[in-house]
A and B are shown apart, each in its own frame.
Chain A
C-alpha cells in the first residue's frame, strides 16, 4: 500500500482541533472527566487522531476510497 497523503487542509484543521480538545479534557484539565477509564480512552482517540492529522494520511480513507486532499 502506498502511503499517499489523503487528508485535505480543512480536514486536517478539523482533526487537529478535535484532537487537541480531546487531549485537553482527558490529560490536561482532568476536572471535566472524573473517570480515569474515560479519560484514558479519550486520550487514545485524541492522540491517534492527532497523529493521523499530522501525517496527512488516514488508513480508513484508503479502505473507503475517500480523498479529501483531492476535494480541496
Chain B
C-alpha cells in the first residue's frame, strides 16, 4: 500500500473512532444532566403545589378540585398529581389520570407511604416511564405526589444530538480526508525530493557534479539492452596526462579546479545523445549513443582539439594532454562492464604508447582473461616445473669455438602450450613473481654450467635480467650465494641487460652494474642499437659486451644502412674495449660478413636454435666444445 493511502486511511480511521467516543461521552453527560434537572424542577413544583394546596383543602374544597387548580397553576407540565394519606388517594389530577389504574397508584404510593418525608425516583406505569417526587402537604397528614413523563425531553435532545453528531461527523470526515490528502501529498513530495537528492548524490561526482561510474554503467546497460543490430555505441575513457605531477606540484585545490575546467571543456564538445561522466581521479568517460568507429574517431579528434588552447587556472597556464581509449559496441563486446574495462585498457595502451588515443585491441590487452590466468598461475608454475631453460650457443668468429651459452626461459603451460617470454615476463614483473623467476633461472643456469664444467666443457652462460630484478637489492647477495654453492667462477656468468632498461635511469644503472661488476660478473648490453644510448655514458659503464640487435643483423645483407650500423657498433665496442655479439645470424653469408667486420661472437639459428639442456649438452659434445674450427661447425 502506498504511503499516501496509508496516511489517508489512518487519519480517516482515527477521525471516525474519535468522533464515536466523543459522541457517546457527550450523550451520557447531557442525559445525566437533563434527568437531574427534571427531578429538581419537579421537586420545586411539588413543594409549591404542596404549600399552596393546603389552604383550599382546609377551607373545605374538594381535594381533587383543590389539587387540580393548584397543580395546573404551579406545575402545568405535570402528568399526574396525587394527594394521598394512609387510607388511600384523597385527590387525583393531571392528563394521565385516565390511563393509569388507581389500584396501581395505591400500591405504589399509598402502601409504602411515609408521611412527612420528601422522596423522588423513576417508575414504570402503564408502559411509560415516569419521574415522580413526593412532598408532605404543609400542616396536614397528607403527601403530595407529582409525576412527569421521563424521556420526553430526552428524545428531543437525542434527535438534535443525532443531527449535530451526524453533521459534525460528515464535516470532520470531509476535513479529515482533505487534511490526510494534504499531509500525504506534502510528505510524499518531501520524501521524493529527499530521494531525488540522495540518488543524485549517489550517482554523481561531488566535485564536478557529473554522473559517476555507477550511473554511467546504468545508462550504458540501458542503451545496450535497447540497442538492436543496427545501433553502435562508442565509449571513450579520457585520462589527463601528468595529472599526478600537476597535483603534486600545484596542490590538490589546483588539481580540482583543473578537473572542473577540463570537464567543462569536454562537456562543450558533447554531441546529442552523448553523456559525460567522471570515473574518478583524473579519468572521464564519454558515452556516444549511436556512433560508429568513424564517428567515434571524429569525436575523439574534436575532444583533443578542445585541449589545444592552454587551460588557465589561478593565473597558471597549462598545456593539457589527454590519453583516450575507445571501445565499441558491438564490435568489441556486448556488455556494459566489458565496454568500460576495454575502453580503460585502450586508454592505458594509448598512454603507454604515448599516443593521444587508441581503439581497444584485444591482442594487446594485458588484462585479458588469458593474461589474468597466466598471471595467477605464474608463481605456482615455477614450483610445478612448468618452466624450462633453453640454451643457445654463442660462437667465436675468430676461432670457431663455442664461446658461451645464452639461457632462455620457456613456459610449457599444461593447457595453453608454449607461452612466449614476452607475454609472461611483463606479467611476472606486474605480479612480483619476477624475483622468484630470476632466482630460478640463475640457479638452473649455474647448475647446468657446473655440470658442463665437470664434463670438461669450460663455457660461460648469459642470463637476461629484467628492470625490476636490477632494482632488487637482494640480487647481488643471492648471486654470490649461488656462485658459492655451484663453484662457478663469477667471470663465467654474464648478466644481459637491455639497452632501454639501462638508459631509463643511467645513474642508478651505473651504480648497480658497478656493484655487480665488482663481483667479477660480466655485463652485457642486449638489443644494442634499438635504444638511445648516450655515448658519453657508455664508456663510464662497466660493460664487457655489446649485443647488436638481431634486426640489424637480419637486415644487414639487404640494407647498406644496417650493415653500416653493425660495423659502427663493432668499432664502437672495440674502442670501448668490449667484445661484440651479433644476434640473429641465420645464414653463412651473414656469418662471413660479420667475420669480415671483425665481429667477435655470433649467435643465431644458423649455428643452433635454442635447445633444452640435454640436447644442448649433446650438441656441445658433438661439437667437441673445444677448439673446433669454424668451418667444421655442424650447423642445424
- Mark A residues whose CB is within 8 Å of B: 22, 32-35, 37-39, 41-42, 45, 60, 63-66
Contact = CB atoms under 8 A, between A and B. Distances in A.
B163 A39 contact: yes
B167 interface: yes
Interface size class of B (residues with CB under 8 A): 10 to 19
Contacts of B185: 63-66
Given A35-B167, A41-B171, A60-B178, A65 B189 contact: yes
B163 A64 contact: no
Contacts, number: 43
Given A66-B181, A66-B185, A35 B171 contact: no
Q: What 3 pairs across the A-B complex have the smallest Cβ distances?
A: A38-B167, A35-B163, A64-B185
A60 B181 CA distance: 9
Contacts of B162: 34
B167 A41 contact: yes
Contacts of B159: 34-35
Interface string B163-177: 110110011001000
A5 to B, nearest CB: 18
Interface string B472-510: 000000000000000000000000000000000000000
26 contacts: A32-B163, A33-B163, A33-B166, A33-B167, A34-B159, A34-B160, A34-B162, A34-B163, A35-B159, A35-B160, A35-B163, A35-B164, A35-B167, A37-B164, A38-B163, A38-B164, A38-B166, A39-B163, A39-B167, A42-B170, A45-B170, A45-B171, A60-B181, A64-B181, A64-B182, A64-B184
Given A35-B160, A37-B164, 10 more contacts: A33-B167, A34-B163, A35-B167, A38-B164, A38-B167, A41-B167, A42-B167, A45-B170, A65-B189, A66-B181
Contact of A45 (B174, B181, B182, B184): B174
Contacts of B167: 33, 35, 37-39, 41-42
Interface of B: 159-160, 162-164, 166-167, 170-171, 174, 178, 181-182, 184-185, 189
A38 B171 CA distance: 10
Given A60-B181, A63-B182, A64-B182, A22 B170 contact: yes
What is the interface of chain A mostly: helix, strand, loop, or mixed? helix
A22 to B, nearest CB: 7
A21 B159 CA distance: 19
Contacts of A42: 166-167, 170
A66 B188 CA distance: 12
Nearest to B161: A35
Nearest to A49: B174
A35 B170 CA distance: 15
A60 B174 CA distance: 12
B429 to A, nearest CB: 63
Contacts of B174: 45
Contacts of A66: 181, 185
Nearest to B171: A41
A39 B167 CA distance: 8
Contacts of A60: 178, 181-182
Interface centre among B160, B166, B170 (most CB of A within 10 A): B170
A39 B189 CA distance: 37
A37 B171 CA distance: 13
Contacts of B163: 32-35, 38-39
Nearest to A31: B159
Contacts of B160: 34-35
Contacts of A39: 163, 167
Contacts of A38: 163-164, 166-167
B191 to A, nearest CB: 13
A48 to B, nearest CB: 10
A60 B178 CA distance: 8
Nearest to A46: B170
Contacts of A45: 170-171, 174
Contacts of A41: 167, 171
A66 B189 CA distance: 12
A45 B184 CA distance: 23
Contacts of A64: 181-182, 184-185
Contacts of A22: 170
B163 to A, nearest CB: 4
Contacts of A37: 164, 167
A33 B164 CA distance: 8
Nearest to A63: B182
Nearest to A36: B163
A35 B174 CA distance: 20
Nearest to A30: B163
Interface centre among A38, A39, A41 (most CB of B within 10 A): A38
A33 B189 CA distance: 41
